[in-house]
Amino acid sequence: MGKWILLALVAGFGAWWSFHAGRQLSEDAIEAQYNLDSAAMAKLDADYFCDRMTDDFQHEAVTFALNGTQRETLGKKDSCEGMREGFRAFKRLNALTNGAMGLSFENRVVEITLADDRKSADVETISSVRMGRRLLSRSHSVDRVIRRNGRILYEASKSKSWVYVPAQ
């Protein structure tokens, strides 16, 4: 009888964690996650970001560049491929210049809007990429984040980016 009660308590706790507590978000947890994301960005770690996307991740991107405006909607696979390609280019540039080009990233959380049930949030950010003192790009994004099994994941993103260097 005691084993059944213990088993029921453990199962109840597991269900509570899986369907409620393991999915709850807080502003502090989101801020901490975005700080980790900034460190991964500085390391040009595309795999880290790909692991943080849900399988059904969608990114609606608008890019304003010197050669025109580009609009696209990307799923997880295409987002990861684009990120890997971009990070490879930055890594090559850093290697060719022995880090002298001074590539830097800045990501600032502007606002976090938690859903009433605290199971999702919209996170508004402004990001910039610089090479030395030259601004290469600036982005304004609104990310939809969720929490599954204690991990904060990207579910969707809408971004507008301004690129300030000529395209090849």
pTM for this one? 0.81
User: Does 136 fall in a domain?
Assistant: yes
Return the pLDDT at 54.
97
pLDDT score recorded for residue 93: 79
CATH of the domain at 25: 3.10.450.50
The answer to whether 84 and 77 have CB atoms below 8 angstroms apart is: no
Contacts of 74 (CB under 8 A, 6+ apart): 58, 59, 61, 82
- Return d(Cα 80, Cα 109) in angstroms, integer: 22
Whether 168 is covered by a domain: the verdict is no
- Predicted confidence pLDDT, tens digits, the chain (168 residues): 777 776 666 666 555 545 555 568 999 999 999 999 999 998 999 999 999 999 999 999 999 998 899 999 999 999 999 999 988 988 887 788 777 667 788 999 999 999 999 999 999 999 998 887 889 899 999 999 999 888 999 999 999 999 987 555
Question: In the structure encoding, which two tokens stand for residue 52, read together?
Answer: 């943080």
> Domain range holding 132?
2-163
H-assigned helices in the chain: 2-19, 27-42, 46-51, 76-96
Domains in the chain, number: 1
**Could you tell me if residue 15 is inside a domain?**
yes
Pair 156, 57: CB distance under 8 Å: yes
